[in-house]
């Protein structure tokens, strides 16, 4: 009986470890180029935020902390997405 209990416990641990592994892989990502949030292109003096398709041509300024345009664009895109989601949820009623 103790052998059976031990095997069942090992199986439960393996299942839990696999579930945790899957969850971690989904959170971390693979680091592929398509997962990049932002690109800093020094030869072209350009910063690109791929989430919203914004290009800024002031890389030294951005690196020095002048990120107001970037933050404003991200905030506007976020608010637009919230409004779009709200509109979709009211349409489905």
User: What is the SS3 assignment for the chain?
Assistant: CHHHHHHHHHHHHHHHHHHHHHHHHHHHCCCCHHHCCEEEECCCCEEEECCCCEEECCHHHHHCCCCHHHHHHHHHHHHHHHHHHHHHHHHCC
Average pLDDT of the chain to the nearest whole number: 89
Find the mean pLDDT for residues 23-31: 76
The reported pTM is 0.58
Q: What is the tens place of the pLDDT at every residue in 73-89?
A: 999 999 999 999 988 87
Domains of the chain, residue spans: 1-31, 36-93
Instruction: Taking the CA atoms of 32, 66, 77 and 26 in sequence, report the sign of the dihedral they define.
Output: positive
């Amino acid at each position: 009986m103790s052998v059976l209990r031990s095997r069942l416990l090992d199986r439960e641990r393996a299942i839990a470890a696999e579930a945790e592994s899957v969850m971690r892989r989904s959170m971390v990502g693979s680091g592929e180029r398509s997962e990049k949030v932002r690109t800093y292109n020094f030869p072209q003096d350009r910063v690109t935020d791929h989430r919203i398709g914004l290009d800024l041509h002031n890389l030294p300024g951005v690196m020095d902390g002048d990120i107001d345009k970037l933050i404003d664009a991200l905030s506007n895109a976020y608010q637009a997405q919230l409004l779009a989601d709200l509109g979709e949820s009211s349409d489905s009623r």
